[in-house]
Amino acid sequence: MTVKTITTSELAKKVVNHEETLILDVRNTDEFDDWKIEGGRVKVINEPYFNLLDGIESVEGSLQKDQEVIVVCAKGGSSEMVGELLEEAGYSDVYSLKGGMKAWSEHLEPTKVSDLSGGGSLYQFVRLGKGCLSYFIESDGEAAVIDANRMTDIYETFAKEKGVEIKHLIDTHLHADHISGGRQLAENVKGSYYLPPKDATDVTFDYTALQEGNDIVVGNTTVQVQPIYSPGHTLGSTSLIIGDQYLLTGDILFIKSIGRPDLAGKAEDWIGDLRETLYKRYKELSNDLVVLPAHYSFAEELGKGGKVSARLGDLYQKNSGLQVDDEGEFRRMVTDNLPPQPNSYEKIRHTNMGKANPDEEERREMEIGPNRCAVHG
C-alpha cells in the first residue's frame, strides 16, 4: 500500500489561502515544540512516531475516518509509515508531506504585492517554514532581489518566467538566522551585490555599498530603491523605500513585533540605535508607506494570499513595540523579551561574511528551526 504524497508547494497553497488543514506531526515532542507548521486555519496534532508503531489508538479520538490528514516528519520517511498505519485502520484521505520538515524549510511561495506607480511590479517570497520574507522587483526587463534566501534557483526561474534579467542583489543587513543567497545569486547572474558597509567590515569579498544617498534604479521606467540608514538590529541595518509606496524594513520592524538588537553580542550598545530608528527616523517618513518586513513570527500576520504587510501609520497605533515612550522601560522591554538565539547563528553569520563555506547538507542543517529575529513583548 502506497500512501499519497503532498508536495510543499501544494501544502503552501492551502496555508496561504487559509484552507482548513489538519496535520499529524510525528516528530519527537522537543523538535515539534521548537518548530512546527503554522497557519491561520492549520490545526496540528503532535504524536511521536514511536508511540504509533504498536497502534494508532492515541490519535483516533482526534481524527475522523474521512477527514484529510497530512502526516509530517523530519524528512518524509516516518510519515509514510504512519500514513500506511492510518490507511490500514480505515482512514481514507491520508497524505505524507514529501521531504518532511526539511523540504518545508526550503519552500518559497511567491505572492504579488502590487504594480508600482513608476511601472513594474513588486513580489514577496514567503518562506513559510522559516518566516523569512524576500522581495523581487521587476521593471522594464530588469529585476532586483532583496534579502534572498540560499535557494537561488527559485529566483532565477521566476526571472526567466517574467522575461527579466536580475541586475541587483541587495541585503538589508548581515543576516544571522538564515544563509543569504544574495552573493551567490549575484555571481550566477553577474549582477551587483549590495550590503551596508557597517555590516561588511569583516567580510572576505567585494560588494557594492548600500547606503543612504546611493539610490538604485531598476529598469528604464525608474523604479527607485532609496536606502534609509536604520540601525538597531545590526549596526548597518538599512531600510529601502520602493517607488515612494513601500518601506522594506529588513529585521528592524515587523508587523506584530520589533527587531532584536543582540545577534552580534551588542544588545546594550544597539538598543539606543533601535529606539532612534523606530521612534525618530521612521516617524519622519510618510504614515502611508506600506511596511514589508524581512520576517514574520506569527501565523496571523499572513494576509490574503500569504502577503505580510501593514501601513506604517497603523503600526504606530497597533504594534506594542512602538508604544513605549519611556526609554528605560523600552530597554527593559527589549532585554526581557528576547527569545533564544537562532540555531547556529554564529556559523550562519560567518558563512554570510564569507569566512565559512559549509557544504549544502550542512547549510540545510544550520537553517533548520524557526526564525528568532524579533523581540516578543
Active site positions, annotated: 73
309/312 Cα distance (integer angstroms): 9
Decide: 45 and 61 in contact? Cβ < 8 Å.
no
Decide: 59 and 52 in contact? Cβ < 8 Å.
yes
Among residues 51, 31, 42, 33, the alpha carbon closest in space to that of 69 is found at 42
Task: Give residues with Cβ within 8 angstroms of 373, minimum separation 6.
Answer: 176, 177, 233, 251, 254, 259, 260, 263, 294, 295, 297, 342
44/238 Cα distance (integer angstroms): 37
From the CB of residue 227, how many other CB atoms can be counted at a distance below 10 Å? Answer: 22
Decide: 253 and 275 in contact? Cβ < 8 Å.
no
Decide: 142 and 218 in contact? Cβ < 8 Å.
yes
Residue 89 has which C-alpha cell? 485502520
Task: Give residues with Cβ within 8 angstroms of 18, minimum separation 6.
Answer: 39, 40, 41
Among residues 165, 195, 190, the alpha carbon closest in space to that of 180 is found at 195
Residue with cell 501544502: 11
Decide: 272 and 281 in contact? Cβ < 8 Å.
no
From the CB of residue 115, how many other CB atoms can be counted at a distance below 10 Å? Answer: 12
Residue with cell 542583489: 169
Rg for the chain, CA atoms, rounded: 21
